[in-house]
Amino acid sequence: MCLFSCVITGGRYAVWAEEGSGSERNCSAIPPYLPPTAVNTTLRLRDLRASMIPLNISAYIIPATDAHLSEYIAPRDARLAWMSGFTGSAGTAVITQNKAVLWTDSRYWIQAERQMDCNWELLRDASIRSITNWLILEIPEGDQVGFDPFLFSVEFSFLGELFPEGFVVIQIYIVRVCLFGCSERTWPMKVDQIRAQISDNPYKPTAVLLSALDETAWLFNLRGNDIPFNPFFYSYTLLSMDEIWLFVHTERITEELKVYLNTTCYHSYCVQLLEYSSVRSYLQSYLQRPNVRVWVGTEYTNQALYELITPEDKLLTSTYSPVLTTKAVKDATEQHILKEAHVRDAVAVMQLLMWLEKKVPEGTENELTAAHFVDQCRRYRTKNSRGPSFETISASGPNAALAHYSPSNETVRKLSVDEMYLVDSGGQYLDGTTDITRTVHWGKPTDFQKEAYTRVLMGNIEISRTIFPAGTRGVNMEMLGRRALWEVGLTYGHGTGHGVGNYFGVHEWPVGFQSNNIPFQEGMFTSIEPGYYKENDFGIRIEDIAVTVPATTKYGNNYLTFETVSLVPYDRKLINTSLLSPEQLHWLNKYYETIQSVVGHELERQGLKEEYDWMMKHTAPFLTAGASAVISSVTLLVTVLPSVLLHNLL
């Protein structure tokens, strides 16, 4: 008997439970148990399987991306989420006539168990090899595997027959020129930079193909609104030494933009506008020309375009295109305005933390109201705001143990002084993109919580204060963020940092600390975000954005270090200063001096007296290693005044 809502799966009833009766599915129970967050996919799978039969497809592969291999995608491109119920940003599904399987990494295992019904099997792996091995075992030799080549990178080129089948819905979008002088480089100057790299390349390419949405947006200093949280528009670009072809939905380009792009002329700085859907046929036409060679970055070029570039002598590949590696280094204007955006953003985050300090003891707030509050602080109180840069992660207690949890009506928890709270949020501004995470506790944290938090903070500080030769790869210093945790047998399962853009994507490759990131140079911005997560209990992450700047050393030149541009204090209650080295404590005090000076000035400019007082209280200096982390202004006064003067005052 179905008590609430049910569906027959494999001959058994799967029961959707009432809110609060459990957070993860149990498909081995009789009947199977499904949480209220699970999505009923029975009819969707039935319809897909029916459409596979006349195409003679035994398996169909669905990724979590779009035709530009974007991390964040528009709702029209959310094929995996619609088919499976799983909304994580990384995953691949395979559907056969009798199985539906999802592959994803450890960040999303619990989320998948909460969102998928019992039609689906979860495989806790994300490698291509795992998917292909499964297909080899499940699909008879000679059967066909279908997938849309526009949705896969070139590393999937060995997967057999290609079936360009997808669910396409037209969506209106806007393209506009980047405002507020987002770069000191005009788009013709950027074209010159990329053409110089084409000319200097010893393998003699004649053109570069740009497929990632941020590549075209950066090259032309344009922004759009096709993608949630990201100011991008659907586009491709083919750039040669004497011609520029921009593939967009041409009917939506304004006359002003046509003038901006010189679309009516015919010299080498004139942009030829071509219909977005014509990129494949036009690329084929270009390749028919004699002595041409197209340079592509394999990380963001889909298989449908890559396969056209034949014979081999017409193809030149690198992991990243010259646009992505050039864009990674911010010019002086980009650095300046991105820092300014982080100062204003710090005010919004401080307003959230101050508000929560007052409201949480009253027992009236939850994860959703906190997320809404910080989003509203950014949207309506902060200059140049264009909304959040991603869906705010507002997580209390055991929900914070999910690194990428976002609250919903089904999973929301009330905020309590007895639990730790993690908020990972960011803003899009006309002059920058922000991303910051703070973890706090309003009551009495356990000794273990304080130690774990302090060791996460130590990892953040160790990377932030390190000095390294220019050209050092992030992967070679990533362990600095983990060492304090490793020393006591703790770790975390996500990356330690990623690039961030100027009114661009909040995750901007190829900067960061992973093995596929490029070496650090002056002017690169990256997040630094170690963490720790205790399943079903609590989660900790401390995330700051930092820019690489020249370091002064006693003997050597050409050394770099990080300057932290996220300017919000850490939770004093969770810091055990006895674990910090003198160097770490010194760095922390200098960081707090910067907050007082830079953000203090902004708070005074805005007339935010209460926020200013809150900031000063939470950035009071830590006196010595081992001293209590909670130091009131009265305690500081008593510490520094001579005893005779103190006697007179009292």
pLDDT digit string (tens) for 182-201?
Answer: 678 899 999 999 999 999 99
HSE on the CB side for 143, CA within 13 Å? Answer: 17
Please say whether the beta carbons of 538 and 395 come within 8 A. no
pLDDT digits (tens, 9 = 90+) for 335-357: 999 999 999 999 999 999 999 99
What token pair was written down for 479? 């362990």
Contacts with 281 (C-beta within 8 Å, 6 or more apart), sequence order: none
- Burial of 580 from C-beta contacts in 10 A (0-12 / 13-18 / 19+): buried
| Percentage of residues of the chain with pLDDT beyond 70 | 88
What token pair was written down for 283? 């690329």
DSSP states along 341-375:
HHHHHHHHHHHHHHHHHHHGGGT--BHHHHHHHHH
- Which residue has tokens 């005779």? 644
pLDDT at 392: 97
Closest CA to 417 of 365, 374, 458, 361: 361
- Rounded to an integer, the average pLDDT of 454-473 is 98
Count other Cβ atoms within 10 Å, centred on residue 281: 11
- Rounded to an integer, the average pLDDT of 372-378 is 96
Answering whether pTM is above 0.75, one says: yes
CA of residue 243 relative to chain centroid, distance: 34
Residues of the chain with CATH 3.40.350.10: 41-162, 187-328
pLDDT digits (tens, 9 = 90+) for 27-79: 999 899 999 999 999 999 998 999 889 888 899 999 999 999 998 899 889 99
- Which residue has tokens 């830079």? 598
Q: Is the peptide bond before 31 cis (omega within 30 degrees of 0)?
A: yes
| Helical packing angle, 582-605 and 332-359, nearest 10° | 90
The one-letter amino acid at 283:
L
- What's the fold here for domain 187-328? Creatine Amidinohydrolase; Chain A, domain 1 (3.40.350)
pLDDT at 625: 46
Answer yes or no: is pLDDT of 455 > 90: yes
Residues of the chain with CATH 3.90.230.10: 332-630
Please say whether the beta carbons of 160 and 144 come within 8 A. yes
- Which residue has tokens 């390419």? 205
Answer yes or no: is pLDDT of 387 > 90: yes
User: Where is 209: in which H helix or E strand?
Assistant: strand 207-210
Measured distance CA(240)–CA(292) in Å, rounded: 10
HSE on the CB side for 3, CA within 13 Å? Answer: 8
User: Where is 465: in which H helix or E strand?
Assistant: helix 447-465
pLDDT at 157: 54
Answer yes or no: is pLDDT of 527 > 80: yes
The one-letter amino acid at 471:
G
Q: Is the peptide bond before 290 cis (omega within 30 degrees of 0)?
A: no
Contacts with 126 (C-beta within 8 Å, 6 or more apart), sequence order: 90, 91, 92, 103, 104, 105
Residues, the chain, total? 650
- Rounded to an integer, the average pLDDT of 459-487 is 98
Measured distance CA(88)–CA(83) in Å, rounded: 13
Count other Cβ atoms within 10 Å, centred on residue 189: 12
Closest CA to 216 of 123, 145, 297, 314: 297
pLDDT band at 129 (very low <50, low <70, confident <90, very high): confident
- Which residue has tokens 């034949």? 310
CATH superfamily, with its number, for domain 332-630: Creatinase/methionine aminopeptidase superfamily (3.90.230.10)
> By three-state DSSP, how is residue 224 classified?
strand
The one-letter amino acid at 167:
F
Closest CA to 441 of 463, 429, 427, 423: 423
**Under the phi-then-psi rule, with left for phi > 0, alpha for psi from -120 to 50, and beta for the rest, what region is 614?**
alpha
What token pair was written down for 466? 């390190």
Q: In what order do the strands lie in the sheet with 498-499?
A: 468-469, 559-564, 544-550, 525-528, 498-499, 508-512
> By three-state DSSP, how is residue 63 classified?
strand
Higher local confidence (pLDDT), 520 or 75: 520
- Rounded to an integer, the average pLDDT of 476-484 is 98
- Rounded to an integer, the average pLDDT of 532-540 is 97
Count other Cβ atoms within 10 Å, centred on residue 31: 18
Measured distance CA(218)–CA(230) in Å, rounded: 13
What token pair was written down for 149? 């080549």
pLDDT at 377: 95
Higher local confidence (pLDDT), 144 or 581: 581
What token pair was written down for 600? 């203090």
Q: Which residues of 100-137 are buried (b: 16+ CB within 10 A; e: fewer)?
A: bbbbbeebbbbbbbbbbbbbbebeebbebeebeebbee
pLDDT at 178: 63
Contacts with 593 (C-beta within 8 Å, 6 or more apart), sequence order: 619, 621
> Which CATH code fits 41-162?
3.40.350.10
What token pair was written down for 71? 């991390």
